[in-house]
Amino acid sequence: MSRPRKAAEQTTSTLYQGADGNWHARVTMGRRPDGTTARKHVQRQTKSELRDAVRDLERRRDNGTFVWTHDDVTLGHWLEHWLESVVPMTARWKTLSTYRSQMRVHVIPALGQWRLSELRPEHLEEHYRRMQTDGHSAHVIRGVHRVLRSGLNEAIRRRRLATNPALVARPPRAEDVEVEPLSVEESRRVLAAAQSTLHPARWSIAISLGLRQGETLGLLWPDVDLDDGVLRIRRAVQRHTWEHGCPSMDGSPSCGRKRGAECEHRSGGGLQLVEPKTKASKRTIVLPQPLVDELRSHRAAVNRRRLAAGSDWDNTHDLVFPAASGGLIDPARDHTEWKALLQRAGVREVRLHDARHTAATLLLLQNVDIRTVMSIMGWTEMATAQRYTHAVDELRRRAARQMGALLWEGQTGG
């Protein structure tokens, strides 16, 4: 038999219809962490929905699963606080930019009005279905889901939320996309066609070493030791969005321009050298000897161009692959040159990132062990290698043939 509550512990719930037409309730929940008694406000459109919500609160209060939070802000309010005050403390610029875009475009306009305490997995799943109907891919939706889950996890750590509905909600399943690397013959045709480009060695590095685009464009000559035959990845090129530098008036830039790039006092944007993508991305790679020879010729060609340009040359960075005037190469221009190179080589159109896939595949097919491949590519997780199923399957078949030859070769039936 349960113990009767003391007078100070009596819990009541008051239901009423407000002037706004919605139904409201004040539920006595007990005591906050600071010892004060508090009643929680709940709002629903119908009396039936309100009663269900009140019963749920009372049940969680009585069985001890209700967790007090400091406040009950809306999802939109929390996400804006998280994006502006929490994430910038640890995230890289590109990560922060992606998080802001995903939350402000896909989540806050649709779900931002919900109180954190009222947010349910079903709300998220319904929103994901709407995104699918609007034509967004499962890949995009799952990306939004991951960022939202991270933001709500932070709300739990800071006692704004008791449980994370994104841990229960299920985003749409994404089909595994198998990489489509270039074949050996296609790779050779690309390298042959690259000899007529400004930087032939840039494309040799892409296909033979699999460096990320930003890593290649961010290479400095001090990173390359041609005598020892190694290069070191220490930085990458990245384009940042310009921010307004003018004073803000009522939340809007005083210059009257919508885009930061148009502001006379803009700051923080343009091409920049940044830290590599991950800790594992800082790595040292041994160069194939033909690539060493190619880089020696390339360095001589760059020096000739610099001398010919004189004072017009941008000497800010001692770049391995400088632009025509000596500065950083815009990744967008680099991508355009890749597309033109494929056409000139008569090779099917593939993404520039598929050159990286090509290098990984060729390494695997040459029996390079997976840990070495991970080190060369700068991978942090073994699961990444599993995407290369075409190469891994061939390695398994090769291993089976080798085991068969070792144990059964030369045996005859008895």
Q: Is the dihedral of CA 383, 99, 169, 130 positive or negative?
A: negative
Mean pLDDT over the full length of the chain:
87
Mean pLDDT of 145-166: 92
Whole-angstrom Cα distance, residue 169 to residue 148? 11
- Bridge partners (DSSP) of residue 272 are 238
Do the beta carbons of residue 219 and residue 231 sit within 8 Å? Answer: yes
Calculate mean pLDDT across residues 178-197.
90
pLDDT at 64: 67
Q: What pLDDT, on a 0 to 100 scale, did the predictor assign at position 4?
A: 44
Inter-residue contact 168 to 174 (CB < 8 Å)? no
On whether the CB atoms of residues 8 and 35 are closer than 8 A, the answer is no
DSSP code of residue 235: -
Q: How far apart, in whole angstroms, are the C-alpha atoms of residue 271 and residue 365?
A: 36
Say what the pLDDT of residue 411 is.
Answer: 63
CA pair distance 320, 152, nearest whole angstrom: 43
Q: Give mean pLDDT, residues 390-411.
A: 73
Q: Please check the confidence at residue 147 and state whether its pLDDT lies above 90.
A: yes
Q: Which fold has domain 184-244+261-361?
A: hpI Integrase; Chain A (1.10.443)
Asked whether 260 and 277 are in contact (CB, 8 A), the reply is no
Tell me, what's the pLDDT at 195?
A: 96
Number of Cα atoms under 13 Å in the Cβ half of residue 202: 28
Q: Which pLDDT band holds residue 285 (cuts at 50, 70, 90)? A: very high
| Residue 325 per-residue DSSP state | T
What pLDDT score was predicted for residue 42?
A: 87
C-alpha to C-alpha distance for 206 and 357, rounded to whole angstroms: 10
In this structure, what are the phi and psi dihedrals at residue 253, rounded to the nearest 5 degrees?
Answer: -65, 140
Q: 284-293, 316-325, 402-411: lowest mean pLDDT where?
A: 402-411
Q: Nearest-5° angle of CA 35, CA 37, CA 40?
A: 125
Mean pLDDT check: name the lowest of 19-33, 57-71, 195-209. Answer: 57-71
pTM attached to this predicted model = 0.68
Distances (CA, A) of 122 to 126, 128, 163, 167, 169: 6, 10, 14, 12, 7
CA–CA–CA angle 248, 249, 253 (5° rounding): 50
Q: What does the pLDDT look like over 290-319, one tens digit per residue?
A: 999 999 999 999 999 999 999 999 999 999
pLDDT digits (tens, 9 = 90+) for 38-84: 788 889 999 999 999 999 888 877 886 666 666 678 999 999 999 99
Using DSSP's 3-state secondary structure scheme, residue 26 falls into strand
Residue closest to 303 by CA, chosen among 322, 290, 288, 287: 322
Options 1.10.287.130, 3.20.20.70, 2.40.50.140, 1.10.150.130; CATH for 75-167 is 1.10.150.130
DSSP 81-144: HIIIIIGGGTS-HHHHHHHHHHIIIIIHHHHTTSBGGG--HHHHHHHHHHHHHTT--HHHHHHH
Number of H helices and E strands in the chain, helices first, is 15, 10
- Fold: same for 75-167 and 184-244+261-361: no
pLDDT at res. 398? 75
What residue spans define the domains of the chain?
A: 10-63, 75-167, 184-244+261-361
Amino acid at 272: Q
- For 112-133, what is each residue's pLDDT tens digit? 999 998 899 999 999 999 999 9
